[in-house]
């Protein structure tokens, strides 16, 4: 799982049938302090399971089985899913 910020929505004229009715979000991985995570890809596309919006910090799962289970779509071609909206992060020693 990673922390990320939603930077936009992806519009697709056609989706796999198992993804109908779900939003696709563009998310950018972040470090705990809110900066872009070192070595992280510039952006990921994740299926929204929680109704997140642009600008929100979210929790993203990157495992295919966990992602499709989180959105309730077993046996679907899903690699990443937004599974939570982060209210705050408390880290010891920072």
| Predicted pLDDT at 85 | 95
| Predicted pLDDT at 71 | 72
- Specify if 93 maps to a domain: no
Q: How far apart are CA 51 and CA 62, in angstroms?
A: 18
The number of helix segments (H) and strand segments (E) in the chain equals 1, 5
Element (H, E) at 70: helix 64-70
- Specify if 60 maps to a domain: yes
Q: How far apart are CA 65 and CA 36, in angstroms?
A: 26
| Predicted pLDDT at 66 | 78
From first to last of its 94 residues, the chain has per-residue pLDDT tens of 889 999 999 988 888 877 777 889 999 998 766 556 556 567 889 999 899 999 999 999 988 777 777 777 777 888 889 999 999 887 776 5
* Structural domain harbouring 29: 2-11+20-85
Domain count for the chain:
1
Do 76 and 18 form a contact (C-beta atoms < 8 A)?
yes
């Amino acid at each position: 799982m990673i922390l990320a910020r939603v930077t936009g929505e992806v519009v697709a004229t056609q989706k796999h049938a198992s993804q109908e009715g779900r939003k696709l979000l563009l998310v950018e991985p972040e470090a705990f302090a809110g900066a872009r995570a070192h070595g992280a890809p510039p952006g990921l596309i994740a299926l929204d399971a929680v109704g997140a919006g642009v600008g929100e910090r979210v929790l993203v799962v990157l495992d295919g089985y966990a992602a499709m289970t989180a959105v309730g779509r077993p046996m679907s071609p899903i690699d990443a899913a937004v599974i939570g909206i982060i209210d705050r992060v408390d880290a010891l020693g920072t």
